[in-house]
């Protein structure tokens, strides 16, 4: 029987068994509408409150600061567009980086069409912004700064704690949004301590369900809602809550932070093993930072001379599942804007794969992947040269 090695955890993760069990329980027993006043409605409302309690505790936040969304994309859009429009009387300037997720970049582009001015911070070759350039870009007109904590393609960690302090020192009124979709569960993130006003996370990146996420909104921060409806979630995000998914998100958040340090240490060791093995192949490059500058679970590697989709499907034939960059854009092949932004050489831009690990990844799976890469890459290069 062919082995199955799943190394696309930045695209989505396998749900914890406890998540699936909780969702089934809610679907079949606590199935009431949480806005209903009867007992079945109160049971559903209890599930939402429990998930909110878990996330608030992990963020060291107040429960009233936790809002549920349909995922990272909606969370990013609600934070960015909602904050920009709510704060327009104060200014019309926004700041982000060139290596953000499309959910951020396209939200910014939409706001530019409405007359907002956006500064896109460049990065160094590892994908890291300059705090000095951030400080220079900040003005009294800056309504919002939005930065991702961990880059979804190359794993680079942005200095969000230092950025938060800098923003509040220079422009106390400017809001700070952090896209923590790829870092949640891998790093501790305490928004109040790190001067973060808005923070978005997604369920299916942490062994939870798809179609659900959470947005931290600091008490007192005003957002213009994207949706209008029945008044749920203080009118910030109306619509009947997805109770099974919210309950599943709560279980996933609780579980992923249990033993977090040992889990991330294990992933970092496996990442090092994979990275060193890939580097031994000729004409191969790793994108992003190393060590603590990079997340413990993402390896981005370019294999000169072979298109990424070709390698991806060759690995798939051996039961190994990886990504040719961000899965959010992989159905629409194009050169990665992140690789362009960090100045990756042209010969590597179309030949890059992303390997992303989870707490379930094993040393045997890494070795099996390397063994296949050592066979596949030289063979594909010989074929390509013909």
192/187 Cα distance (integer angstroms): 15
Q: Do 38 and 32 meet the contact criterion of CB atoms below 8 Å apart?
A: yes
**Per-residue pLDDT, 335:** 72
In this structure, the chain runs to a length of 386
Which of 262, 336, 250 lies closest to 53 in space, CA to CA? 250
Tokens at 93, concatenated: 């300037």
257/238 Cα distance (integer angstroms): 29
CA angle 16, 246, 248 (to 5 degrees): 15
Which of 204, 173, 280, 170 lies closest to 20 in space, CA to CA? 204
The distance from CA 106 to its chain's CA centroid, rounded to whole angstroms, is 15
**Per-residue pLDDT, 383:** 78
Q: What's the burial of 98, exposed, middle or buried (CB within 10 Å: 0-12/13-18/19+)? A: middle
**pTM of the full structure:** 0.95
Look at strands 320-321 and 93-97 and give their pairing: unpaired
**Per-residue pLDDT, 330:** 46
**Residues in the chain where the model's pLDDT stays below 50:** 326-327, 330
Number of neighbours of residue 11 by Cβ within 10 angstroms: 20
Domains of the chain: 5-14+260-385 (3.90.1150.10), 17-256 (3.40.640.10)
**Per-residue pLDDT, 351:** 95
Which of 251, 282, 263 lies closest to 381 in space, CA to CA? 282
Q: How many helices (H) and strands (E) does the chain have?
A: 12, 12
**Per-residue pLDDT, 334:** 62
Q: For 13-48, how does the pLDDT look when each residue is reduced to its tens digit (9 = 90+)?
A: 999 999 999 999 999 999 999 999 999 999 999 999
71/382 Cα distance (integer angstroms): 43
59/71 Cα distance (integer angstroms): 17
Q: Give residue 115's region: left, alpha or beta (phi > 0; psi -120 to 50).
A: left
Residue 328 annotated to the active site: yes
- What H or E segment, with its residue span, contains residue 118? strand 117-121
**Per-residue pLDDT, 300:** 97
Which of 192, 184, 212, 219 lies closest to 66 in space, CA to CA? 219
**For residue 308, what is the DSSP state?**
H
Please name the residues in contact with 317: beta carbons below 8 A apart, sequence gap of 6 or more: none
Q: Do 200 and 72 meet the contact criterion of CB atoms below 8 Å apart?
A: yes
Q: Active site residue: 98, 171, 199, 328, which one?
A: 328
- State residue 66 phi and psi, 5-degree precision: -105, 125
326/179 Cα distance (integer angstroms): 15
67/88 Cα distance (integer angstroms): 23
Number of neighbours of residue 310 by Cβ within 10 angstroms: 17
């Amino acid at each position: 029987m062919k082995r199955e090695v799943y190394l696309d955890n930045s695209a989505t993760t396998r749900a914890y068994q406890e998540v699936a069990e909780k969702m089934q329980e809610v679907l079949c027993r606590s199935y009431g509408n949480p806005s209903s006043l009867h007992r079945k409605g109160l049971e559903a409302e209890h599930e939402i409150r429990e998930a909110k309690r878990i996330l608030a505790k992990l963020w060291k936040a107040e429960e009233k600061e936790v809002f549920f969304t349909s995922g990272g994309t909606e969370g990013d859009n609600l934070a960015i567009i909602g904050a920009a429009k709510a704060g327009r009387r104060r200014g019309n300037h926004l700041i982000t980086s060139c290596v953000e997720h499309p959910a951020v970049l396209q939200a910014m582009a939409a706001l530019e069409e409405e007359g907002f001015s956006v500064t896109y911070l460049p990065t160094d070759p590892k994908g890291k912004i300059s705090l000095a350039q951030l400080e220079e870009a900040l003005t009294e007109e800056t309504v919002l700064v939005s930065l991702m904590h961990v880059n979804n393609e190359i794993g680079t960690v942005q200095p969000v704690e230092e950025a938060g302090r800098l923003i509040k020192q220079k422009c106390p009124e400017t809001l700070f949004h952090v896209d923590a979709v790829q870092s949640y569960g891998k790093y501790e993130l305490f928004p109040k301590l790190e001067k973060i006003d808005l923070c978005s996370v997604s369920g299916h990146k942490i062994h939870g369900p798809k179609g659900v996420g959470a947005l931290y909104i600091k008490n007192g921060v005003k957002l213009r809602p994207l949706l209008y409806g029945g008044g749920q979630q203080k009118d910030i995000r109306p619509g009947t809550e997805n109770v099974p998914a919210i309950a599943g998100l709560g279980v996933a958040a609780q579980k992923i932070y249990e033993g977090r340090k040992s889990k991330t240490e294990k992933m970092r060791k496996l990442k090092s093993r994979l990275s060193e093995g890939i580097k031994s192949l000729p004409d191969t490059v790793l994108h992003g930072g190393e060590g603590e500058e990079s997340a413990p679970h993402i390896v981005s590697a370019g294999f000169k001379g072979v298109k990424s989709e070709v390698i991806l499907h060759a690995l798939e034939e051996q039961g190994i599942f990886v990504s040719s960059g961000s899965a959010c854009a992989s159905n629409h092949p194009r050169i990665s804007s992140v690789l362009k932004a960090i100045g990756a050489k042209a010969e590597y831009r179309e030949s890059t794969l992303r390997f992303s690990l989870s707490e379930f990844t094993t040393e045997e799976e890494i070795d099996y992947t390397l063994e296949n890469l050592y066979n596949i890459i030289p063979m594909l290069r010989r074929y390509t040269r013909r």
